[in-house]
A and B are shown apart, each in its own frame.
Chain A
C-alpha cells in the first residue's frame, strides 16, 4: 500500500476501506493532501470499490466536502463505486443541508456498506 499521511486504507475483500487520520478535517494544507491521497486510490491504484468510514471524524469543513465531491465524480467516471459510513449526526446534518446526501451513497455502518457492494 502506498504511504499515506491523511488516510488509512485497508482491504476488506474487494472493497478498499478508508479511515481518516485527522479528527478535524479543516486545515487547508491537510485537505489538499487528503484530496491527493483519495484521488490516488482511484487514479493510481485503480480501486473500484471504495468505502469511506467516518467513525473517527468529528468535524469537517466545506473545503473537505469539495474533495469528497471531486472524489465521487472521479470514482463514477472510472465506473467504480463510492460509499460512506459511520457518519456522526452533526456531519450528517452538513450533508443534508448541502443536499449531498442525495449525491453520496451513505450507509449506517461499515458492515452494511460492505454488504451493499456485493
Chain B
C-alpha cells in the first residue's frame, strides 16, 4: 500500500521550490511589475486571484479524475479515493481564496464587493459543490461505501460545472453590462505583468502538489488508525467481549 504520493526527498524539493516561487512572485508582483494604468496597485491582486482560480479548477479536476479512476474497476484503489479527497480539501481553500481575493479586488476597482460576473458566479457554485462533497466525506460509513458515494458525487459535480458555466455566461452576456469589468486574464498582457502571472501559476501549482502529498499522508494515517481499531475490535469479539457498537461506529 502506498502511503505517500512522492518520496520525501521529492516533497522537500517541491516545498522549497514552492517557497522560492512564492518569494519571486511577491518580489515581481509587488515591486517589479508596473501598476496598471486604469486600476492602479489594486490590480496586483490579480497575480494571486488568477492563479488561485486556476488551482481551484485544477484541484477539482484532480478530484474528478481520482473519482473516475476509483470507480473504474480495473483501476480501483484506495489511492485514488484519498487523492480525490485530499485534492478537494485543498481545492475548497483555493476556491474560497479566489472568491475572497476577487472581492477584495473588486471593491476598489468596481466599487462593489461582488459582481454577478459569469466566472465569479460559476466559481461560487463550484465552491458550494465542493462543500457538498466535503460534507459527504464526513459521513460515518465503511471506507469503500463512502468512497463510492463521494466518487459519484464528485463526477456528477464535474459534469455539472461546464453546464453551470455555460448557462451563467449566456445569462450574463444577455445582460450586457459586465464588459467594463474585465478582471480576467487579458491576452494583451505583456512583459513583467505576464511574468508575475506565470510565477503565480507556478508557485501555486507547486504549493498544491506539496499540500496534496501532506494531506494524502494524513488520510493514510487516518485509515491506518481505523484499521487498527477494527482489528482490535475483531480480536475483542473473538475473545467473547461485545465492544459497544456506538464506540466503533456501527451504522445499523
Q: Do A and B come from one complex?
A: no
